Amino acid sequence: MNPHKSQYACFCTFIPPHVLEHMAKASDEVVRDSVREAARLSMMQDNQIRTNRASQVIDVSALAGAQQGIMAPPAGTAGREVFNCGHQWGSPPPYMLARGEGDPVTADDAVNATYDAGGAVRDYYRNKLGRNSIDNLGLNQVHNVHFGENYMNAFWDGSQMTYGDGDGMVFVSFTRDPDVVAHELTHGVTQHTAGLIYFGQSGALNESTSDVFGTVIQQSIDGTTADDADWLIGNDIMGPELFGEALRSMKAPGTAYDNYIMGKDPQPDHMTRYYYGANDNQGVHINSGIPNRVFYLVAMDIGTDKAALIWYSTLQRLWPNALFGDFAYMVADSARLLTKNKQVPVGTTQTVRLALREVGL
C-alpha cells in the first residue's frame, strides 16, 4: 500500500444556520474557497449523526481497563514512517523514507524529533486511553519533514502530517516542539471520532482538542504536572526574533504573544469576548481559547491525566457540527459517568461545571 495515498475522503456534514450566515458574509475573505466548499457540503448534512452520538453511552469500563493496562487494543502495527521532503514543494510527495519503525537514529534532528514525538503520542493514546493509533486500528503514522523552503507551518491533510522548517528567524522547525506533533496527530484522532467540522465552533472544538492533547502529551514527555507545566502551545518553535513568545496559552488565552510581527494574541478567555469574524475559518484557532481554558481549570483541580480521560470520553460522544453548548453538556456528563465508575474523584462533575461557568458556558 502506498502510505502517501490518502485513504480517507473528507467528511461531509451539516453546517448550522448561523454559520451559513457568516459564511455568506465571508465571501470576500481569504477563506472564500473553503467557505464555499463548506457551504456546498453542508447541503449534504445528516442530523442523524448528532442524534446517534448524543445518545451513545461511553464505555467507561473499557477506559478503566485502559488505565490499568488491562484492555488490549485491537491488532495493528501503528508504526512510524518519517519521510524527508528535501525542501521540495511537490504534492503528492514522492519523498524518501528517512526513518521507519525500529530504525536507528539518523543524523537528521528533525527526523529524530518527529519519530520520538510520534512515539510519545502513540504511547500516550495506547497506554493511558486504550487507543490503537490515530484510527484505533493501528494506522501507521506518516510524517513528512523539511517541506518546502522556509515553510512556516505544520498541518494534517486527512491521512498524514507535514512540517516545515520555518525561516529560522520568526519560526524554527515545527518538528522541534513535541506538542506540535501531538497536536497534528490529534487532528487525526478527532477525524476518526467526533469528526468535528473545521469551521466555526465545531472547528474551535477541533483545534482545542488538538491543543489539549498536545499539552497533555508534552507534560507526559517532560514529566511535569498541571501545577508546573507552562500551558503554552508552540513556544519551542519560536525563532530568535520571537523567543519567549508562544502561539497560545491555555492558562491565560490572549496573553501568548504581542509583537510587531504577529500582532496581539486574539484568543478570548470568556464567551463575552467570542470572535465572530470570518478569518481563520471563523476563528478556529481563536475561539479555541475558551474550551482550552476549561481544560486548564479542570486539570489544575484533578490532574492532567484524569482531565484528559474526560476529554477523550467527550470526544467520542461529540458529532461533526457540535457547538460549544453541546461540548459543555457532554464534558460534564462524561465527568459524571467517569465519577460513577470511580475513574475520576467525586466532585469532578462539579469541578467541570465550575470551569465551564468561569468561561461563560
Kindly list the catalytic residues: 184, 285
| Size of interface with other proteins, in residues (CB under 8 A) | 56
Nearer to other proteins, 149 or 358 (CB): 149
Among 20, 54, 120, 262, binds other proteins (CB under 8 A): 262
Nearer to other proteins, 77 or 150 (CB): 150
In eight-state DSSP terms, residue 195 is -
In angstroms, the CA 341 to CA 104 distance is 42
In eight-state DSSP terms, residue 63 is H
Among 110, 247, 299, 318, binds other proteins (CB under 8 A): 247
Among 51, 56, 77, 150, binds other proteins (CB under 8 A): 150
Taking CA atoms, 39 is separated from 23, 50, 320, in Å, by 7, 19, 14
**Cross-strand pairs, 145:** 84
In angstroms, the CA 230 to CA 178 distance is 14
Residue 275 touches other proteins, criterion: CB under 8 A: no
Buried b (16+ CB within 10 A) or exposed e, 262-272: eeebbbbbeee
Minimum CB separation of residue 329 from other proteins in Å reads 24
Residue 14 touches other proteins, criterion: CB under 8 A: no
Name residues contacting other proteins, limited to 174-203 (CB under 8 A).
Answer: 174, 180, 183-184, 187, 191, 197-199
Near other proteins by CB under 8 A, which window of 166-174, 224-232, 292-300, 343-351?
166-174
Nearer to other proteins, 189 or 344 (CB): 189
Backbone angles phi, psi at 47, to 5 degrees: -70, -10
Helix, strand, or coil (residue 123): helix
Among 121, 170, 300, 332, binds other proteins (CB under 8 A): 170
Report the DSSP pairing between strands 161-163 and 141-145. parallel
Nearest to 355 by CA among 287, 268, 292: 292
Grid coordinates representing 342 are: 470511580
Q: 30-49 mask for other proteins (x: CB under 8 A)?
A: xxxxx-xxx--x--------
In eight-state DSSP terms, residue 235 is G
Minimum CB separation of residue 168 from other proteins in Å reads 12
Residue 20 touches other proteins, criterion: CB under 8 A: no
Name residues contacting other proteins, limited to 56-115 (CB under 8 A).
Answer: 88-91
Residue 27 touches other proteins, criterion: CB under 8 A: no
Please report, as a single letter, which amino acid is at residue 27.
S
Residue 7 touches other proteins, criterion: CB under 8 A: no
Residue 261: exposure state from Cβ atoms within 10 A (0-12, 13-18, ≥19): exposed
Among 133, 218, 235, 281, binds other proteins (CB under 8 A): 281
Nearer to other proteins, 11 or 274 (CB): 11
Nearer to other proteins, 7 or 61 (CB): 7
Near other proteins by CB under 8 A, which window of 49-57, 95-103, 146-154, 332-340?
146-154
DSSP per-residue letters across 291-341: HHHHHHHHHHHH-HHHHHHHHHHHHTT--TT--HHHHHHHHHHHHHHHHHT
* Helix residue ranges per DSSP H, the chain: 17-25, 32-42, 48-54, 60-67, 109-129, 178-191, 200-222, 279-283, 289-302, 304-315, 324-340, 348-358
Taking CA atoms, 174 is separated from 141, 146, 233, 343, in Å, by 17, 9, 12, 35
Near other proteins by CB under 8 A, which window of 62-70, 273-281, 304-312, 340-348?
273-281
Minimum CB separation of residue 337 from other proteins in Å reads 28
Minimum CB separation of residue 285 from other proteins in Å reads 4
Positions touching other proteins (CB under 8 A) are 10-12, 29-34, 36-38, 41, 88-91, 148-158, 162, 167, 170-171, 174, 180, 183-184, 187, 191, 197-199, 206-207, 210, 234, 241, 247, 260-263, 279-281, 285-286
